[in-house]
Amino acid sequence: MRFASLGSGSEGNGLIVESGDARLLVDCGFSLKNCQRRLHRLGLEPKDLSAILVTHEHDDHVGGVFDLARAADIPVWLTHGTLNGVIEGVRDAKHVTRKVSVHKLHGELALQIAGIDVLPYTVPHDAREPVQYRFGDGNVRLGVLTDIGHPTAHVAQVLSGCEALVLECNYDPQMLDDGPYPAWLKRRVGGKHGHLSNLQSAELLAVLDRSRLRHLVAAHLSRTNNTPGLARRALVQVLGDDPEWFGMASQSDGFDWREV
């Protein structure tokens, strides 16, 4: 199994998980043209995708999903609440899912999509029915966690023992407090249903079973309220060193293929 990112941040997100001939895209917050360009960078075309999985209805995660699905005849998987959130957010609701094969999934109910083991799991975030995902091929597991307001015991249980982890490090608390965001947005980002700070991510990482971990990627960093250096420093303190397999996802380039 291997994985790569099209881009990660508030301007658009997309993550590819590949096992054999199956390729799942988690979220697509990019225009069709932009997504095609980012896929080309990874040696892929839209037609190579087996399915698109959606975490929640915020535009930086779902904005390009249905255009891409329609253009390349790709099935879309998402929760009932997320689908309702998408439909309620547009004027022409019928157009959103037109000519798209839509499948509903349920948080905590494991399934297989194109031969890849998928576990959607619930997270606290300010969306209708948000989930994140853990993937497996029978031998190794990849955990994905972004867009969550605070760590929970359940999240720690799901992500413990993974060989690879994509972990949100959205903001540095001091930079958020001192930064240009209006007060309401600072409260939202730093709230119980907002995003993970570097400190919260480090605290979660510290309680995970990391005995099999050999890939860690910090993701969804804010360009305004964080820096790669601050995120790295927080997580390295938990790891005890700065291993080669620790990386950063960027908004512009995501990250290249990583073999689990």
pLDDT tens track of the chain, all 260 residues? 999 999 999 999 999 999 999 999 999 999 999 999 999 999 999 999 999 999 999 999 999 999 999 999 999 999 999 999 999 877 666 688 899 999 999 999 999 999 999 999 999 999 999 999 999 999 999 999 999 999 999 999 999 999 999 999 999 999 999 999 999 999 999 999 999 999 999 999 999 999 999 999 999 999 999 999 999 999 999 999 999 999 999 999 999 999 99
Q: Hey, what are 220's tokens?
A: 């969804």
Domain 1-144 in CATH 3.50.50.60:
no
pTM: 0.97
Residues 26 and 55 sit within 8 Å (Cβ to Cβ): yes
Domain ranges of the chain: 1-144, 148-249
Closest CA to 142 of 238, 3, 249: 3
Q: Which amino acid would we find at residue 35?
A: C
Q: Hey, what are 56's tokens?
A: 């929640």
Task: For the domain made up of 148-249, give the CATH fold.
Answer: Metallo-beta-lactamase; Chain A (3.60.15)
List 17's β-bridge partners, or say none.
3, 24
Per DSSP (E only), the strands in the chain are: 2-7, 14-19, 22-26, 51-53, 76-78, 102-104, 111-113, 116-122, 131-136, 141-145, 164-168, 215-219, 246-248, 255-259
**Helix axis angle, 228-239 to 198-207, nearest 10°:** 20
Given this chain, do its domains 1-144 and 148-249 carry the same CATH topology?
Answer: yes
